[in-house]
A and B are shown apart, each in its own frame.
Chain A
Amino acid sequence: MKILKLFLIIFLIFSINALKADNEVIKNKITKNLRCLICQGQSVYDSDSEFANSLKIVVDNKINEGLSEKQIYSYFQSKYGEWILYDPLFNKNTYFLWLLPLLIFFIGGAIIFNKFVKKQK
Chain B
Amino acid sequence: MKNKLLPLSITFIFIIIFIVFYKGLKDTNVYTPESKINNEVPSLVVDLFDTGKTVNTKDIFQSDKFYLLNIWSSWCVPCKEEHPILMELRNNDRLKVIGMNYKDNKDNAKNFLEKLGNPYEKIIFDSKGTIAIEWGAYGVPESFLIYNNVIIRKYIGPLNKVSVEEIKSYIK
Contact B139 A83 (CB under 8 A): no
**What are some 22 contacts across the A-B interface (CB < 8 A)?**
A37-B31, A37-B138, A50-B129, A51-B129, A51-B138, A54-B133, A55-B133, A57-B129, A57-B130, A58-B133, A61-B130, A78-B36, A79-B36, A79-B134, A79-B136, A80-B36, A80-B136, A80-B138, A81-B33, A81-B34, A83-B34, A84-B33
Contact B30 A40 (CB under 8 A): yes
**What does the 1/0 interface line of A34-74 toward B look like (CB < 8 Å)?**
00011010000000001101110110010000000000000
A42 to B135, CA, bound (A): 22
Q: Shortest 5 CB-CB distances between A and B: which pairs? A: A54-B129, A81-B34, A79-B136, A80-B33, A37-B138
CB distance from B67 to the nearest CB of A (A): 20
Chain B positions within 8 Å of A84 at CB level: 33
Nearest B residue to A83, CB-CB: B31
Contact B128 A38 (CB under 8 A): no
Contact A54 B33 (CB under 8 A): no
Q: Is the interface of A mostly helix, strand, loop or mixed?
A: helix
A84 to B33, CA, bound (A): 8
Chain A positions within 8 Å of B145 at CB level: none
Contact B31 A79 (CB under 8 A): no
A51 to B34, CA, bound (A): 17
| A-B CB pair tally, cutoff 8 Å | 45
Size of the chain A interface, CB-CB below 8 angstroms: 17
CB distance from B85 to the nearest CB of A (A): 23
Contact A79 B133 (CB under 8 A): yes
Chain B positions within 8 Å of A40 at CB level: 29-31
Chain A positions within 8 Å of B89 at CB level: none
Chain A positions within 8 Å of B29 at CB level: 40
- Interface-central residue, A79, A80, A84, by most chain B CB under 10 Å: A79
- Interface-central residue, B29, B133, B136, by most chain A CB under 10 Å: B133
Contact B34 A80 (CB under 8 A): yes
Chain B positions within 8 Å of A38 at CB level: 138-139
Tell yes or no: B132 within 8 A of A by CB: yes
**What does the 1/0 interface line of B123-144 toward A look like (CB < 8 Å)?**
0000011101110101100000
CB distance from B7 to the nearest CB of A (A): 17
Tell yes or no: B122 within 8 A of A by CB: no
Nearest A residue to B29, CB-CB: A40
A76 to B29, CA, bound (A): 21
Chain B positions within 8 Å of A81 at CB level: 33-34, 36
CB distance from B40 to the nearest CB of A (A): 12
Nearest A residue to B102, CB-CB: A50
Chain B positions within 8 Å of A51 at CB level: 129, 138-139
Contact B139 A53 (CB under 8 A): no
Contact B136 A50 (CB under 8 A): no
